[in-house]
Amino acid sequence: MRKTFTLLFFALLIFCNAYPQYTNVTIFTPGLSMPPEEPSICINPKNINFLVAGANINYVSYSTNGGVNWATQYGLSNSQYGVWGDPCIICDTNGVFYYFHLSNSVSPGYWIDRIVCQKSTNNGVSWNNPGSFTYYNSPKEQDKEWAVVDPRNNHIYVTWTQFDNYGTSNQSDSSNILFSKSTDGGNTWVNFGSSGTAKRINLLGGDCYDEDNTVEGAVPSVGPNGEVYVGWSGPKIRNSQYGIFFNKSTDGGNTWLSTPQYVADQPGGWDYIISGLQRCNGMPITCCDISNSPYRGYIYINYSDSAGPNDHDIKLIKSTNGGLNWSTPLRVNNDAAGKEQFMSWMTVDQKNGHIYIVFYDRRNYSNTATDVYIARSIDGGNTFTNFIVSSSSFTPTSTTFFGDYTNITAYNGRVRPIWARLQGTLSVMTALVDFTTGENTNSENLPDEFKLVQNYPNPFNPSTTINYSIKENTFVSLKVYNLMGQEITTLVNMNKPAGYYSINFDSKEYGLSSGVYFYKLTAGNFSDTKKMIITK
C-alpha cells in the first residue's frame, strides 16, 4: 500500500507540472558580429550522433551526441573570400560536411561576389580556409544558394540567384537561377563553357528588387538515378501573377529543359507580410525520395502562400513521374482556417521516405505569439500529422530580423529542426525529435549523464518511443505503471553498457485504454519518472 501511495503521489506531482513533449536545446545565442538567425543544420548519415549547425552571419557549431550538447559557438572565418551569411550545410556519404555561404571578399572587395564552399573532415571541428567558390562574375551578385549531395557518387549540386544589380528597381536589370556542380568533393567546380562555371536554368528572368518579382528559392534535389530537380518562385506575369517553376536534368546537370515547367500558382507571391516580423517569405523547397520506400522517386515541393488576409498556409505539391505531372496543392497545416503559418522548410528522411516540414505557427493564439510545428507524412505526402516541437511560445517584433528561412534535417528516424526564437534576445534552437522502433543503441560517442527523455509522440495511439541514456555500465530497469501506481509491464530489466537507447512501447500489446500512464527508469542510483498519455 505504501509503495502504491508513493507512486501515485509522485505521478500526480509530475502530472501537475508541464513537461515539453520534445526537449529543446539552444545552439546559438548572440555572441558574434550580430544576433544569430537564418539557421541551417545537417546530420552525418554515417553516424547520426554527429551534427553541424550554422546561422547568419558566420555562426557554426557541432554536436557529437545527437544534438543534446553543442560545442562552444565560434565564427566561421575565411581569410580570402570573407563570410556573409546564407549558411547551407550538407554532408556526403563519407561523413564530410560542407558549409556554403555568401562572400564578403577582402580582395577585390566586392560584397556577395561569389558562392563559397568550405568543408570539414572532422565533423565540424575545423574547416578548410579559404575553400573554393562556384562562380565569380563580378560586379553581378550571387545570393540565396543551396546545395545537395548525390549519394551515388558524392557529386555536389548548387543552385542560387544571380542579381545583375542587387536591390535596384531598374527593370533592365535581371535576376536568374544559376547551377554549378563539383565532382571532386568541392575542390573544383565544373566549367560549363563560355558562361564560366555556372549554367542558367530559368527562362523567365525576374527583377532585382528582392521581392515577389525576383526569381528566388532555388533548392536542388537529386533523383534515384542521378536526376537533378530544382524548383523556385517568381513571376509568371510581371507584377500580377506569381508561382512555382520547375526544371530538371537527367544527366547530372549538364543539360536542362529549355522551357521550365510552371507547376503551381503562389497567390500573393513568395514575399509577404506577417505581423511582428521584419521580413517573411514562402520560397519553395524541393526534395526527392531516393530511399527504398514505396514512394521512391516522388518529387515534393513545399512552399507557403496566402489563402486570405492574415491566413498564410503551408502547401505541398508532388510529382510521381519525374516532374511530368503535378498534384494540386495540399494544405499541410491541419488547423482551422484563419491562422498564420509561415517560413517552412522540408526534408525527406532518405532511410525510410518520411517527409518532415517545420514551420512557425500561430494556431493557438489570437495575437502574434508563435510556436514551432512539424508536419510529418509517412504515406508519400498524401496525409500529414502536425505536432508542436517548441517547448513554449515566443513573440517576434518587427525590429528583429529572423532571416529568410528555417531548416530541418532527418536520417533514419532522427529528426532535428532548427529555428530562430526571440526571448529578450534572438537565439537559435533545435528540438530532439526521434522516430525509431525496437531497442537500439549507438555507443560510438558515450553519454556523460543518465537521462530519461520524454516519450514521443505524446499523446499517442497506439505506440510511442522512449529514449534514455546510460553513462556507465550498470543494471537498468524501465517499467510502465498506470495512474494508481500498478505495474503494467517491464520493458527493460538487465545490465547494460553505456550508450544511447531507444525502445518502442505499443499499448495494444497490453490492452490499455485511453488515459494517463507513467514510465520509470532506474539505473544504478539514478531514477526518473515521466508521464505519457494514450488517446483513442
Q: How far is CA 138 from CA 109, 133, 135, 162, 401, in A?
A: 10, 13, 9, 10, 28
472-522: pLDDT as tens digits: 888 889 999 999 999 998 888 777 778 878 887 888 878 899 999 999 999
Q: Where would I find the beta strands (DSSP E) of 184-251?
A: 199-200, 216-222, 228-237, 241-249
Residue ranges per domain, the chain?
2-17+442-534
Separation between Cα atoms, residue 503 and residue 422, nearest integer Å: 34
- Burial bucket for residue 253 (CB in 10 Å: 0-12, 13-18, 19+): buried
Share in percent of the chain as helix, strand, coil (round to 5) = 5, 45, 50
Topology of domain 2-17+442-534 in CATH is Immunoglobulin-like (2.60.40)
Fill in the DSSP letter of residue 370. Answer: B
Element (H, E) at 355: strand 355-361
Tell me the Cα Rg of the chain.
Answer: 24
Residue 439: is its pLDDT beyond 70? no
Label residue 22 by pLDDT band (50, 70, 90).
confident
Q: What cell does 242 get?
A: 506569381
Fill in the DSSP letter of residue 191. Answer: -
Closest CA to 176 of 222, 242, 245: 245
Element (H, E) at 84: none
Separation between Cα atoms, residue 109 and residue 67, nearest integer Å: 37
Percent of the chain with pLDDT over 70: 93
Q: What is the mean pLDDT of the chain?
A: 89
Sign of the four-CA dihedral 367, 368, 371, 376 = positive
Label residue 38 by pLDDT band (50, 70, 90).
very high
Residue 179: is its pLDDT beyond 90? yes
Q: How far is CA 255 from CA 93, 134, 252, in A?
A: 25, 18, 8
Query: Would you state the pLDDT for residue 268?
Result: 85
Residue 6: is its pLDDT beyond 60? no
260-316: pLDDT as tens digits: 999 999 988 999 889 888 888 999 999 999 999 999 999 999 999 877 778 999 999
DSSP string, 148-160: EEETTTTEEEEEE
The residue with greater pLDDT, 233 or 492, is 233
pTM: 0.80
DSSP string, 373-436: EEEEESSTTS--EEEE--SS-B---TTS---S--EEEEETTEEEEEEEEEESEEEEEEE-EE--
Residue 161: what residue type? T
